[in-house]
Structure 1
Amino acid sequence: MELHLADVGHHYGAREVLRDITLDIPEGQIVCVVGPSGCGKSTLLRLMGGLERPDAGAVIQRGETPPGCLNALTYIFQDFALLPWRTVAGNVSLVLEDHAMPSPERRARIADVLARTRLSDFADALPRQLSGGMKQRVAIARALVVNPAVMLMDEPLSALDSQTRELLMDDLVGLWTRTPFTAVYVTHNLAEAVRLGHRIVVLSRRPGEIREIVELAMPLERRGYGDATLERAQQHLWGMMRDEAAAADAELIDA
């Protein structure tokens, strides 16, 4: 399944947040969204996920959902959103409990995503026993267990330290390489965007409009820290954003 945004615009009261967003999210790609603070990145994600309705334009789903898909769209947030009294397996199973399915299928789904996210040995652990990176792996496993058509990822690594972010990016690349998935990945971190994005959508300061869509042809599994091509892409993105980021930061401070 693909997402298509056609001339999407949105307001909060009198404040225009997004304007004339036309964008395709191709199946099997990770599309990263970057831009200055307050430019509407997270709002755009909520519109894609149906948590809010755009004031203008439309978000259109095209094509079929993958086999075994229980939720077409699923979110991954930066704060993990785990239930502290449930084990790792219990947190993953939570999203299956509204779906009628035989117990063997439920157990098989959980076992599969725990194996894919390298959490099988921690199935019975509680969130308080886990590091931040492992908690986010649980959140990723919980999203994957419903076999979504599109994952909507709202700064999923921003609460983690730099070393853990690097490890989680490697995990996401490994997951995608083994079984390509479709995702929209909102981030303020340009290194994450060039490491993970097949396409990078650059928004202007509020009201957010698309300034440029940067295509990165290098396969995800070949991208690594210090790669000159990725560094040039990151510099290009920052060159577009620098002045607007400074202006947006001053605007937020003055608000």
Structure 2
Amino acid sequence: MDIRLDSISHHYGDTEVLRDISLEIPSGQIICLVGPSGCGKSTLLRLIGGLERPEKGRVLQLGSAPEGCLNPLTFVFQDFALLPWRTVKGNISLVLEDHGIRGAKAKAIIDDVLARAKLSDFAGALPKQLSGGMKQRVAIARALAVNPAVMLMDEPLSALDSQTRELLMDDLVNLWSRRPFTAVYVTHNLSEAVRLGHTIVVLSRRPGQIREIVTIDTPIQDRRPGDPVCQMKHDLLWGLMREEARAADEELLDV
């Protein structure tokens, strides 16, 4: 299933947040959204996911969801959103219970996503026993359990330290390489965008508009820190954003 954004504009009160956003999100790719603070990245993600309706324009779902898809659009947030009294397995089973899936069928799905996320040995652990990186892996496994057409990821690694972030990026690359999925990935971290994104959409400062669309042809499984092509793309993105990021920071400080 592809997603098409057709001339999306949005206000909060008198504040214009997004202006005339048109974008294609093709199946099987990770699309990263970057831009200065307050440019509307997370708002755009909520509009794509149906948590809010755009003031103007349309979000179109084109084609069919994959076979066995329970939720066409599924969110992964930065705060993990795990139930502390449920085990790893229990947190994942929750999304299946909402669809009436229990017993052997649920077990097969849970065992599959636990294996894909390298969590099989932690099925009985409680969230309080897990590191931040492990908790986010559980959140990703839970999203995969519903076999979504598109995962909507709102700064999923921003709460983690740099070493854990690198490990989680490796995990996401491995997950995608074994079974490609579609994702819209919001981040303020350009290294994440260059590491994970097939396409990187640069938004301007508020009101957010598409300033540039940057593609990276190097397969994501072949990208490494310090790779010359990745560094060139990183520098290009920062060059596009630097002055607007400074202006947005000063604007936020004045509020």
Counterpart of 2:68? 68
What is the correspondence of 1:137-152 to structure 2 with a 5 Å cutoff? 137-152=137-152
User: 5+ residue gaps in structure 2?
Assistant: none
Q: Give the whole-Å Cα distance in 1 for the aligned partners of 2:221 and 2:73.
A: 25
Partner of 1:50: 50
Which whole-Å CA distance do the structure 2 matches of 1:83 and 1:99 have between them?
18
Return the offset for 1:43: 0.0
Partner of residue 248, structure 1: 248
5 Å-filtered alignment, 1:121-200, equals 121-200=121-200
Q: State the Cα deviation string for residues 37-88 of structure 1 (Å, max 9, x = none).
A: 0000000000000000000000000000001000000000000000100000
Task: Measure the CA separation in 2 of the matches of 1:102 and 1:197.
Answer: 35
Q: Per-residue displacement from partner, 1:149-177 (whole Å, max 9, x unpaired)? A: 00000000000000000000000000000
State the 1:101 CA deviation: 3.0
CA–CA distance in structure 1, aligned partners of residues 207 and 171 of structure 2? 34
Query: What residue number does 1:238 align with?
Result: 238
TM-score, normalization: structure 1? Answer: 0.99
Alpha-carbon RMSD across the aligned residues, in angstroms, is 0.5
Partner of 1:114: 114
Shift of residue 103, structure 1, vs aligned partner: 1.3
Instruction: Give 3-state SS (helix, strand or coil) of 1:136's partner.
Output: helix
Q: Which amino acid aligns with 1:217?
A: D
When the two structures are superposed, what TM-score results if normalisation uses the length of structure 2?
Answer: 0.99
Deviation, 1:100, is 2.3
Runs ≥4 residues deviating over 3 A: none
Q: Is the 8 A contact 2:96 2:102 kept in 1?
A: no
Aligned residue in 2 for 1:100: 100
SS at match of 2:93: helix
* Cα distance in 1, alignment partners of residues 220 and 98 from structure 2: 35
Gaps of 5+ in 1: none
Matched, 1:20 2:20: yes
Q: Does residue 83 of structure 2 align to residue 83 of structure 1?
A: yes
Partner secondary structure for residue 79 of structure 1: coil
Q: Could you list the per-position Cα deviations for residues 117-155 of structure 1 after superposition, in whole angstroms to 9, with x for gaps in the alignment?
A: 000000000000000000000000000000000000000
Give distance in 1, aligned partners of 2:41 and 2:221: 26
3-state SS, counterpart of residue 191 of structure 2: helix
May I ask how many residue pairs the two structures share in their alignment?
A: 255
Matched residues in 1 for 2:175 and 2:190: separation? 21
Please give the alpha-carbon distance, in whole angstroms, between the structure 2 residues aligned to 1:183 and 1:98. 23
CA distance in 1 between partners of 2:251 and 2:4 (Å) = 31
Partner of 2:220: 220
Give the secondary-structure state (helix, strand or coil) at the position aligned to 1:5: strand
C-alpha separation in 1, matches of 2:76 and 2:224: 24
Q: 1:90 to 1:102 in 2, by over 3 A?
A: closer
In 2, Cα distance between equivalents of 1:100 and 1:15: 42
The amino acid that maps onto 1:64 is S
Q: Aligned-pair distance for 1:98? A: 1.4
- Contact 2:155/2:187 (CA < 8 Å) preserved in 1? yes
2:8 corresponds to which residue? 8
- CA drift at 1:192: 0.1
Look up the SS of the partner of 2:213 in the other structure: strand
Structure-2 separation of matches of 1:12 and 1:35? 19
Amino acid at match of 1:180: P
1:202 has 2:202 as partner: yes
**C-alpha distance in 1, partners of 2:241/2:15?**
21
- Of all paired residues, the percent bearing the same amino acid is 71
SS in 2 for 1:124: coil
Distance 1:98 1:154 in 2: 23
The alpha-carbon deviation at position 102 of structure 1 amounts to 4.8
